[in-house]
A and B are shown apart, each in its own frame.
Chain A
């Protein structure tokens, strides 16, 4: 029963958005000029999508909290991290809720310390580490061993230099067509575009097939 209800909702929802998208807002005059009867419901349908998405978003924190509370209650290994998570969650929620918009209070300071001092710093640092991994990977893995790898290395070097001013400095004395920036633009606009289109067409075909299967409830396990 539950499975049928989920399938029915999925099908009706998919049908609504498909027809609303495909049918014109107003039919041609020779067809009577009628208005698309689905369009007035579009705002409501979009709000339903947003509300359902928000509910799904809440499931994450709920499950995380439950899991970490259980770790603490059962005194399992790693309970220090669970405690740290729960403290951070509660303090962040309280600071965000109590921080006034226009006044600067102690909660504003706590909020800014947590947000910019901790979260933003952690996140930015973890992304910045990628630069070091990239240099290390270039040293260990980019090996000139076959014709294919030579082609890839050559293209990578042209793009790496052509996309930054270093390429302009190195080749600024050459005619424009021979400068690294022109080469990198050519690689991006032609070979890259052809490959991206091929990948996109394949991926869209797959996405269409998957969407169709979900919409029609074919081969989808709904518990």
Chain B
């Protein structure tokens, strides 16, 4: 028995890889419902903030993700945009600094949802595109807060912002109810300038692997909410009563995490058996 268990220590990786693929496929083949559990305070905070948006303000969505973090960020964008459309909240989309591919990915997610909700581009929502921030994220974020039109004179298609009716009402951060930044790892400059200097609430949507670093800002109240990976997106979808991509993906993550734990268990059992065999002098 011990000899057999010792083989687990040097288990061929291909078995692990094959097992991972099979297990990750299960939730895409079999529909598994999300267990009831309620939302974490971080998710609830963002949801409540969107719910409380008055008609004369907008939400600034900074969608700065691309294919690298699409697996988690897409669902985080989808669920919030769907909620904004349901509440008839107008929103402006930017992609500050992180990746030039971001506006295209944001558009592909937002356009179908906005069209379905009867949102008119330029009147109800606008995509201002990529803002270069290699010279300094702080200066660019601060510039957006003070004078949006000066930092982004045109939208993603090159239309002057003066020709977009929505942007007549949105000139600075004072016209914004919430800044929601979605990317692999949102930068703290959003907190420093948007919340710190101008007092507008900020929420993040980050990859779950990066989310632990933001709990300190949640605890201090500098972030009003956060969607941590697909878990956050799935909770948000449950709050909004519209289970979708986040719910499907968190099931895959659920199975994936179990595989990691099983792999660690197998490795430890194998190592224990090897130690025991060594002590027995075999």
> Contact residues of A with B, CB < 8 Å?
17, 21, 42-43, 45-54, 56-57, 101, 115, 119-121, 123-124, 127-128, 131-132, 134-136, 138-144, 153, 157, 160-161, 163-166, 168-169, 172, 181, 185, 188-189, 192-193, 196-197, 200
List of A residues within 8 angstroms of B68 by Cβ = 123-124, 127
State the main secondary structure of chain A at its contact with B. helix
- Distance in Å from the Cβ of A17 to the closest Cβ of chain B? 7
Return chain B residues, CB-CB under 8 Å to A51.
Answer: 135
| Neighbour of A49 across the interface among B70, B135, B254, B271, CB < 8 A | B135
A57:B134 contact, CB within 8 angstroms: yes
Q: Which of B124-161 contact A (CB under 8 A)?
A: 131-136, 138-140, 142-143, 146-147, 150-151, 157-158
Asked whether B261 lies within 8 Å of A47 as measured between CB atoms, the reply is: no
A164 near B253 (CB under 8 angstroms)? yes
- Grouping DSSP codes into helix (H, G, I), strand (E, B) and loop, the B interface class, with mixed when no group exceeds half, is helix
**In the complex, number of A-B residue pairs with CB atoms less than 8 Å apart:** 161
Compute how far the CA of A54 lies from the CA of B68 in the bound complex, rounded to whole angstroms: 23
B17 / chain A contacts, CB cutoff of 8 Å: 132, 135-136
- Answer whether A160 and B260 are a contact pair too, CB < 8 Å, given A49-B139, A139-B16: yes
Name A120's contact: one of B67, B142, B251 (CB within 8 Å).
B67
How does the 8 Å CB contact mask read for B17-45 relative to A, with 1 for contact and 0 for none? 10010001000000000110100100000
- A53 with B37: CB separation less than 8 A: no
Report whether A166 and B258 are in contact in the complex, using a CB–CB cutoff of 8 Å: yes
* Binary per-residue interface labels of chain B (78-100) against chain A in the complex, 1 for a CB within 8 Å, 0 otherwise: 00000000000000000000000
Contact A46 B139 (CB under 8 A): yes
